[in-house]
Every structure is written in C-alpha cells, then in structure tokens.
Chain A
Amino acid sequence: MNSLYDKVKKNLIWKSVFRRDYRDTARNRAMAIFGNVFLHLHPVRVRESAVKLRYTWGMGGITFLAFIILTITGVVLMFYYHPTVDLAYLDMKDLEFQAPYGVISRNLHRWAAHFMVIVVMIHMFRVFMTGSYKAPRQFNWGIGVILLVLTFLLSFTGYLLPWDQLGFWAITVGTNMGAATPLIGYQGPFSEFLHITPYNDIRFALLGGAQVGGNALLRSYIWHCIAIPLISVILMFVHFWRVRKDGGISRPQH
C-alpha cells in the first residue's frame, strides 16, 4: 500500500502538478490559496466575520455559481441549437425527444436563470442592509448595479430563443416599450422632430427589423450567448478585484 502511495505521489509528474503535501501547516494553508488560480481570488487570511454565513449569506458567491452553471449548460445547449426561425423551435423538440440529457440540460438552464435573478436581488438587499456600499465601496456598488441590469438582459434575451409563443410575445411586449423612447422611438414623445419612423428607430435597431422575426432571433442569440456573457465576465472580475482592493468584505470599523 505504502509503496503504491509512494509510486503515485513521489514522481516528477505528480510533483509538477501538486506543489505541496497535505500536512496542515500554516504554510500549506496559505499555499492552498495562492498556489491555486481559482482559490487565489480569496485573500490568504480573512476576517472571521467575512466567513460567517449570517453576514453575507453567501449570496454574491451563489450568484456567481449560478452564472457558471448557466455557462456550462448554455454551451451544452448551443451544440443543439440553430438560431433560425425554421429550426429553433424544432431544436427545442429535439432536445426534448432526441438529444441525450436534452431535457435536463434545458431545465437546468432555465431554472438556474430564474434562480440567478432571485439571488442577485437578495445579494443587493444584503449589501444594502449592511451598508456595504458606503466608502470605500461606492464604485463597486455601481459595478453591481450594471451586473444586475446585465443579469436581467441575459434572461430577457434567452427567453426568445426557444421561439415559442411565450418568448415571442414577452419579447414583443418588452421591445414595444422601446418604441416609446423619447426622441429615438417612433411612438415616443418628440420623435417627430428627428423624423423617426418604425424603420429607423431604437426598436428597429434592437430587433433588426420592424417586427420580432429572424433578425431579432439572431441578434438575441448573439447578445445572449456571446456579447452579454463576455461583458458580464469582465465586470464580474472587476467586481471581485474591487472587493479585495476595497479592503475585503465590509466589517464594523473598530
């Protein structure tokens, strides 16, 4: 037994991957954090209150976890999905009846999406209740607000993708409001001064047409699967970086 253990662990390959052993020393505990690209988002030592569940409720982290789950299941769905009017709905049926684990992938994606919207709102509520937006964390609250909007937009653009009645009309209702934008929506106040019509207004730009159609589906798809996730990831890393640089999780001044 021991010799097998030695064979597995005392060789060049193992040692090149794992730089330390398991002994519970202060050095190893620190190495576990900054020797690991994922864990080193954390500081090596933190204030005890920041670790307690009752303070943060873990809600920011849970939001991030939901986003990771959405990215993984979203990429799985992309393998089966064509963003065209002819195929999108049929792909949903394929997911249901043909694709291995298609139903559970889609369910996970949809419920995790709802879940992410719920937990991000609770995260904001917690940050407010602990006054964590106060100096020096004002800027990070602002980043957070943008992340909140992006979360809504991700869920909103995803809603159209199945190309069923539910999504189609939800997006129609939503983008019709865009038509009422002052100045740049064709039904909005003052738009006549800019000669805005249904064919050159903000809604047309969003949908790539005067109605929700093939172009709107393609635009939704690209925003949903590429553009907004990219922007979100960048802002999330700014958000996490700032949590550290603003002095870690907020705590009472002594």
Chain B
Amino acid sequence: MNPFIEIITQPDNIAIVIMIVMVTFFTIWGFQQAFQNDKLKASGYAVDGELDQDVDTFKPLVRIELIISLVVVLFLSIWSIAVDAPLEEIANPTITPNPAKAPWYFLGLQELLVYFDPWLAGVVLPTLIVVGLMAIPYIDINPKGNGYYTFAERKYAVIIFAFGFFILWLLLIVIGVFDRGPGWLWYWPWEEWDHQRVVFEPTRDLTQVIGIESRSIPGFIIGAIVVIGYYVAGMLLPLRHWRKNNPELLAQLGMIRYNLIMFLFVTMMSVPIKMVLRLVFLVKYVWITPWFNV
C-alpha cells in the first residue's frame, strides 16, 4: 500500500487529519474577520459587534448550544462507529518498537529532542512555554484589539503567537506524525520505511567548525561566549533600537516587562536557529560544559 495512505489511515492519525482540517478552517475564518474589521475601522465604521444590543439568553444562546451539542455528539458517534480505537500487543518491556512515538500532541516536544538535550527539550522549554503563555496578558500592554478580531492593531502580537502556534507547535506535530520513521529518521510520506537504513551524518560541535576542540578549555570559553552573547545581544540590540526610535513604548513597558519579553522571545527564536544549525550545518552542540550541553 502507498505509505502515505497507510500513515493517514492509522486510527490515531485520523485525529491529526481532523485537526489539520479544523485548524485550517478556523484560521481562515479568524483572519478573514480580522481583515474585515481592519477595513471597517480604516474607513471609520464600527467593528463587528460594537453596536450590538443585549438580547435574552433564552432562546438564542440556549438554542445554538443545543444544536452544536447535537452536531458534536453526532460527529463523535459517526467517528466511533466508523473507526475502532487501536489496541496493539500487550505491553512488553523487552520489545522496543521503532520508532517509539509519544502521543501525537507531544510529538512537537519529541521532535525538539533532535535539536536539544532532553533536559532542555523535555523540561525547560515546556516549562517556559507554559510560563510564557501565562505571561502574555501581563506583557502585552497594547490596549487595542480587545473584544474583536483584528490584525492591523496588533501585528507583532499576532505574528509572534502565530509563529509559535502554527510553526513551532502544530507543524512540528505534523512532521512528527508524517515524516519521522525508524530511528527518528526523516521519511517523506511517500517513502517506504526501511528499518535497515542507517544515515551516516557526522555531526560536529560549533567550535569544531573553526577547528577548536569543543571539549577543551578554549572550546568551552568560545561556546559560552556564543550562548551568553546570543542572549545579551538579543536583549540589548532591540533596546538600543527602541531607545532611539520609540522611547515612549519602552517607558510604558518598563524594564521588567521588556526583559521578560525579550528573554522569552530570544529563547523562542533559539528553536528555529538550532534547527537550522542542526539540519543545514550538521552542528550538534554550541556549548559543551562538564554539567550540561547546549
């Protein structure tokens, strides 16, 4: 059978297909309303919902809830009649399946394991994702765009969130489901999985690129400079830029907020940077220390 059909019709992966369809649909619907509101605002009209009056909850809301509930129950019933939940062989600690995949919603994190050591990919980054999400309301001080879809009034917030949500979360999940096979090697959906395949991909550490042993003292120092320098530069350069061009915004933000935003943003961007380093330049570690490797 065509490997793509095989992957896509595995019972659990039907959920991914449903996710892709639903997310696409609601993304289009959301952005379409955002652009529509932006147009209305630009020509001086009220945005969607601004002029609405109060209505009785009974019946409009209760009716729509009833209809949605029936549709959802019907949908889940059809899904459950059509597709049976998988049950593999009984658990056996001596037989490791290859690949051993986490549940699909954690495949983004499992994919990060290619680029980061487990303590970063499995513990530090997820913690920062949760902390970062909870921090959003307190660091986004733009009062506009509260209560209606808009893009123009909060461009940066929407772009950064969309990058995290669609690329770093959903795309990595889709890659984990469809493009990772035995040995966590990359397989296009139309390629057969080959359990014998070995890829000889000699990775090196960053300092080895310029000929310095990464496990030596100079390697350690250069690695530290690169990692710490990345954070310092990432947090100082925008500061200088904003001091010159937008001092009011900076004053409004205050130093605590500014530092938190930039720390989270710089950490977030380290993910795509390490992905490029690993995938394009075959660089594994940037900084090797006796206690941990980055």
Binding site for B on A (CB under 8 A): 26, 29-30, 32-33, 39, 42-55, 57-59, 61-62, 65-66, 69, 85, 89, 92-93, 96, 103-104, 106-112, 114-115, 117-119, 121-122, 125-126, 128-135, 137-138, 141-142, 145, 148-149, 152, 155-156, 159, 162-170, 172-174, 176-182, 185, 187-190, 211-212, 250-254
Contact = CB atoms under 8 A, between A and B. Distances in A.
B87 to A, nearest CB: 5
Nearest to B151: A129
Contact of A39 (B18, B19, B58, B60): B58
Contacts of A182: 119, 123-124, 292
Interface in B61-111: 61-62, 64-65, 68-69, 72-73, 76-77, 79-81, 83-93, 95-97, 100-106, 109-110
Interface of B: 12, 15, 18-19, 22-23, 26-27, 29-31, 33-34, 46-62, 64-65, 68-69, 72-73, 76-77, 79-81, 83-93, 95-97, 100-106, 109-110, 113, 117-119, 121-124, 130, 133-134, 136-138, 140, 143-150, 154, 158, 161, 165, 291-292
Contacts, number: 274
Contact of B146 (A69, A108, A131): A131
Contacts of A137: 137
A100 B227 CA distance: 60
A252 B64 contact: no
Contacts of A48: 49, 52-55, 60
Contacts of A121: 23, 165
B59 to A, nearest CB: 7
Nearest to B292: A189
A133 B137 contact: yes
Nearest to A141: B137
Contact of A29 (B59, B69, B88, B110): B59
A171 B57 CA distance: 44
Given A164-B89, A170-B100, A45 B118 contact: no
A108 B154 contact: no
B134 A141 contact: yes
Given A58-B65, A130-B149, A165-B89, A44 B57 contact: yes
A188 B293 CA distance: 11
A118 B147 CA distance: 23
